Structure 1
Amino acid sequence: MIIGIDIGGTKCAVVAADDQGNMGRVIRFPTTNVHDTLAAIFAAVHDLRPDGQQTFGIACGGPLDAKAGVVLSPPNLPDWDRIAICQLLQERFGGRAYLMNDANACALAEWQFGAGKGTRNMAFLTHGTGMGGGLILNGALYEGSSGDAGELGHVRLAENGPVGYHKAGSFEGFCSGGGIAQLAAGRLPGMDKPSAKDVAEAADRGVPEALTIMTESGRYLGRALAILIDIINPEVIALGSIYTRSGHLLEQAMRAELAREALPSALAVCRIVPAALGENTGCMSAIAVAAYRAKER
């Protein structure tokens, strides 16, 4: 039996699955303070009737000490200071528990169940409020020496520009939801502080300023993906939230930049696609962590 736990800044989900990763009952609830949220997680696990031999997979935003199973004060989870979530679950319910940052967990889910199924080399980029990433290389998750592999959002693409990852001109700065909002500040008629969603909706209406902003973001998206393609030569790059909703606004500029920057032979074998799991991404990422770690044992 697998029990997946997706811990987010505003909501959590606890889900049961069989050993093949087929999703069963899901229990969802809002994220509140750390004490009440942990209590809700434990109550949900109890309701799913663990058998003492279950494998827990936990997907959570970082920073984490994934090897130790400890949550280390993520910015979207106030007061989650050194919460030993794996130990707490194992003491209460038995079995084994594994923790992983949400970007790596999503990469596993898209590889095992979604857009990258059947590949040996792929990358997943969250492309949401931030720009986290995960890498599957030679048929395995690549985590790096300190667990920080895949953080392409930190790469600087220009000397100056919107700030992401505390770095001006970074990939996250130009292409994440937060970065697009910075690009748009003061540039859209009648909007002082538009969100990325506002920009995309205005671009869909044909507002020239919004189309210019999305084209700029698309160009930097292509530039960053060219770096990724040249370095790891993937079969698939799966992109999350913004690309799944608004890829049509980014595509032309992204493709033009890829054609200029990427190795033609590597670009030719790489499919750039929307992430496939949609609303089930959080649950499936937690399930994927458990399924993957269980196979490693």
Structure 2
Amino acid sequence: MNLLAGLDIGGTKCAVVLGVEDRNQHVEVIARRSFPTPDSPGLAIDRMMQNLEDMIAARNDLNLLSIGISCGGPLDSRKGLILSPPNLPNWDRIDMITPLQERFHVPAAIQNDANACALAEWKWGAGKGYKNLIFLTFGTGMGAGLILDGRLYSGTNDMAGEVGHIRLEDEGPEGFGKAGSFEGFCSGGGIARFAQYKVKQHLTQGESTSLCGDITAKSVAEAALAGDDLACEIFEVVGQKLGKGLAILLDILNPERVIIGSIYSRQEDLLKPTMLKELKKEALSHAYQVCTIVPSGLGEKVGDLASLSVAKHALDNIPNKKGEGHV
């Protein structure tokens, strides 16, 4: 069995994961530890490596083959650098690869979280067996991981897949620093901001709604499922914009499958009918007919498996030059 290690670096917490993949390409997480992300990158890296070392020692029947890191961008995956992501303001040009290779002597690689999730779904989830697929995060933000012609596509400098920045409308909730963007309409933060605006507008007109207090994407979905008219209207708009954004991606990239995570996976019944109606209207028919839209096949496990999939990708793409253990 392949013993893989994954490091998931987030703004609030870091997680260290060990997983095994058998000959049938089934993967299982066998150990996991997490801790709040320290302000100091050096301290965070030291704690992750110490945790990983302890976890490997507890499974001395297996040999570690590779390490993968999943982290929000921007990154330089070729040099193995974290380039000060918004949720990690002190992490400016932090080399993640060299310390890991010097300590563990195995290949290591880093990818942004959307790419990592795309790899996980491609290797072990709803994208297994497909050559052209898109994974959409649809969580706190909206990003995409792209598998094109059977390979991860990250672009010239790791900026491929930043679909949240696409402007869908001239006006609308802000996401990715742009009003009316794909992320503005289709993300947890965007849905919450859109709902807050609609509630104020609704109350000004003297109309009632069950939406009140701390409005989140989750609370809006719960209200919609309970039959609140305003919440249903909000998710109708979100579904429409999801379809519109997807149509752009289908027309440009012509994928076989689009996999959507997080909010879509949990609220498919609310979003799918409107999304498909808009997608069928907007996309080229030949692109639409060959593509299926599905929720994440890995569900809530995709976060842990994402970093492991980067480790697997590193193992499958070991470079020829000594010391270049990242891709």
TM-score scaled by length of structure 2 = 0.86
Q: Does 1:249 align with 2:270?
A: yes
Which residue of 217, 221, 226 maps to 1:200?
221
Q: Which sits farther off after the overlay, 21-30 or 53-62?
A: 21-30
> Is 2:302 the partner of 1:294?
no
What corresponds to 2:306 in structure 1?
Answer: 285
**How big is the shift at 1:75?**
1.9
For each residue in 1:132-179, what CA deviation from the matched residue of structure 2 results, as whole angstroms up to 9, or x when unmatched? 111111111111111111111111101111111101111001111111
What residue identity is the alignment partner of 2:106? G
Query: 2:159 aligned to 139, 148, 154, which one?
Result: 148
Name the residue aligned to 1:265: 286
Task: Name the SS of the counterpart of 1:160 in structure 2.
Answer: coil
Amino acid aligned to 1:17: G
Say whether 1:220 aligns with 2:225: no
Corresponding position of 1:83: 94
Q: 1:37 — aligned with what?
A: 44
What is the alpha-carbon root mean square deviation over aligned residues? 1.8
**Using the alignment, how far apart are the partners of 1:151 and 1:237 within structure 2?**
15
Separation (CA, whole Å) in 2 of partners of 1:70 and 1:213: 39
- 1:102 equivalent in alignment to 2:113: yes
Offset of residue 199 of structure 1: 0.7
Closer, same or farther: CA 53–175 of 1 in aligned 2, 3 Å: closer
Shift of 1:19: 5.5
> Structure 2: which 5+ residue stretches go unaligned?
200-208, 319-327
**Deviation digits for residues 219-274 of structure 1, max 9, x if unmatched?**
00000101111111111100011101111111121111111101112111111010
**Whose radius of gyration is greater, 1 or 2?**
2
Q: Is the 8 A contact 1:53 1:96 kept in 2?
A: no
Aligned-partner Cα distance in 1 for 2:269–2:64:
46
Q: Hey, what's the Cα distance between the residues in 2 that align with 1:193 and 1:48? A: 39
User: Contact (CA 8 Å) 2:4, 2:64: kept in 1 or not?
Assistant: no
Amino acid of the residue matched to residue 25 of structure 1?
A: I
3-state SS, counterpart of residue 48 of structure 1: helix
The verdict on how the C-alpha distance between 1:10 and 1:278 changes in structure 2, with shifts beyond 3 A counting, is farther
Larger deviation, residues 27-36 vs 37-46: 27-36
Secondary structure of 1:54's counterpart equals strand
Distance in 2 separating the partners of 1:215 and 1:193: 21
Aligned equivalents of 1:43 and 1:118: distance in 2? 36
Number of residue equivalences:
297
Q: Which moved more, 1:74-83 or 1:186-195?
A: 186-195
Distance 1:53 1:255, change over 3 A: closer
Q: Is the 8 A contact 1:6 1:286 kept in 2?
A: yes
- Would you say the 8 A contact 1:162–1:168 is kept in 2? yes
Report the TM-score, using the length of structure 1 for normalisation. Answer: 0.94
* Superposition deviation, residue 32 in structure 1: 2.8
Task: After TM superposition, give the deviation of residue 65 of structure 1 in Å.
Answer: 1.6
Structure 2 residue matching 1:95: 3-state secondary structure: coil
**Alpha-carbon displacement from aligned partner over 1:182-231 (angstroms, at most 9, x marks no partner):** 11114343526511111111101100000000000100000010111111
Give the SS at the match of 2:267: helix
- The one of 70, 75, 80 aligned to 1:69: 80
User: Structure 1 stretches of 5 or more lacking a match?
Assistant: none
2:169 to 158, 162, 168: 158
Residues 271-296 of structure 1 show CA distances to partners (whole Å, capped at 9, x for unaligned) of: 10101112221221111112112222
Q: Please point out which of 25, 28, 37 is paired with 2:30.
A: 25
Q: Secondary structure at the match of 1:145?
A: coil
Say which is worse superposed, 45-54 or 159-168, in terms of deviation: 45-54
Residue pair 1:27, 1:44 contacting (<8 A) in 2 also: no
Letter in 1 for 2:91: W
CA distance in 2, matches of 1:242, 1:145: 29
Residue 198 of structure 2 aligns to a residue whose secondary structure is: coil
